[in-house]
Structure formats: structure tokens, C-alpha cells
Amino acid sequence: MRISAKLAPTFDYPVLEQFWRAADELGFDAVWDYDHFYGLHEDRVPTYEGWTTLAAMAVVIPRARIGCMVTGLTYRHPAILANMAVTVDHISGGRLDFGIGAGWHEAEHRGYGIEFPSAGTRVAMLDEALTVIRRLWTEESVTFEGQFYTLHDAICEPKPIQRPHPPIVVGGSKPKMLRVIARHADEWNMPSHGTPQDWGDASTRLTEACAEVGRDPTSIRRSVQIFLYPDQPEQVEAQLAQLPQFAELGCEHAVLSFYQPPSAELLERCAQLGS
């Protein structure tokens, strides 16, 4: 199983940089941040913007892949996001994983005056946005008239270093989202808020969604995001102990998401869990 590390950009920059460098040196497959402007539980938690943070990660981290788990679709027009991703792909030398989801943090939308449609509409927007982004990455110019987005002879140059495009990682587990994942994703990720079996059941539903759209289910890597609280050692132990169960259910990639910066000893131990 591949093992990646994630730390939210909610700590002082020197702390973030130290974590990135340590995770890279220890051999984690990838290092991730997230895409929010407010804290997840307390709005006023200081938070760096995810994609400008990714550009810094691309320079600081020389080996591991990098990504945002996951980008909120609603915050940026997909054509703008496509160009941002190409820029980070080039800065990193072709090491970007493009993580994206439908968005959920209503307080951020309300505070910034960003429209926050229903969950079903956001999923439909994501479906259309991924069509636009993929075409911008692979076609000379794009004309597109959809329900949510319109492009006229749009260009995105340069093209990504990774061909045909950076791997697309989509998070979600509801039926409509799984169909979007089946159509577009190179990797599926689901947070481990429930049990490993909950993850396994969702993975089975993804396989069924692939059959509906005519996609080879084995072409989508299956991954989980596991949340760790280093200030609660028993919680960390319980979560890490579940990794073999996820692997037995077909999980190929675990993203260890730290809620506080881990000690050097814990980070090293986690790095050694990969195969």
C-alpha cells in the first residue's frame, strides 16, 4: 500500500515547511494540503490558501508527489483552475496529483459571497468542470457550452508536463458522486469517518458505477484518508491498526492526515508502513 502524508495549512509556515521536508526525506509517496479559507471546526483558525501553498510545496519538496486533498470546485472557475494546476505541475517537474471535490464548507461560501448550490447541483457542476479541465489540458482550444460553464476558443498553454494530464483524484462516496468518479477519476479517495467496511462498501458501489458508464474499475486507484490526532496516542494507534483491513478490502493508497504536526518519531513510523 502506498502511504502519503497530509498536514492542513493551518500552522505557521516554518512548521509546514519542516513537515514537508521531513515527509519527503522519509520517503512518503506524496504530501498533501487542503483547500479551505476557514478552519474546519472553528471558522477563525488561520488558514493559508491551498493552491499558492502547493506552489511553495512544489519547490520545497524535490521528490514526493504533491496535491490538494481536495480542491473545492466552487471556489474557482474550472478554466482558471486548469491553468493553476498546469503551473504547479511545471513548478514541480510533473509531480502534481490533481485532487478535487464538490465542496462543502458553507460558512466560507456565505462569508465570501460565493454561491453555494445544493449538493446535487454541485456534483453536476463537478462533472461538467472535469470535462472542461480535461479538454483544456489536452486540446489546442476549447469551445464548450454547458449548463454551468461556457468557453469560446479557450486555450490553456503550456500543457501539463504529465501526459495526457496530471492524475485526477476525486473524493466522495454518494451515488451521484461515484458516477462522476467513474467517468473522470484516475484515483478515488474516501475519508475514513466510518469503519473499513464502510469504505469497502463504497468501493463496491464505485465498481458498480464503473459498470454503468463502461469503465474498467481496475483503472481507478482506490484510496482512503485516515485522520490522526498526534496529541491522542490511543486514537492514532487505533486508526493505524485498521490499515491492514483497508488493504484487504482493496485499498491501494492511504493518506495519513495529521490534525497536529506529528513528532519526528511518529512521522518516521508512519513512513515505514508503506510497502
Please report the domains of the chain, with CATH numbers, ordered by start residue: 2-271 (3.20.20.30)
Asked whether the beta carbons of 236 and 265 are under 8 A apart, the reply is: no
Q: What is the pLDDT of residues 31-84, one digit of tens each?
A: 999 999 999 889 999 999 999 999 999 999 999 999 999 999 999 999 999 999
Asked whether the beta carbons of 228 and 259 are under 8 A apart, the reply is: yes
What percentage of the chain carries pLDDT values higher than 90?
Answer: 97
Burial (CB count <10 Å: 0-12, 13-18, 19+), residue 209? buried
Q: How confident is the model at residue 193 (pLDDT cuts 50, 70, 90)?
A: confident
Instruction: State how far the Cα of 222 lies from the Cα of 201, in Å rounded to an integer.
Output: 12
Q: How confident is the model at residue 197 (pLDDT cuts 50, 70, 90)?
A: very high
- Which pairing describes strands 142-145 and 150-154: parallel, antiparallel, or unpaired? antiparallel
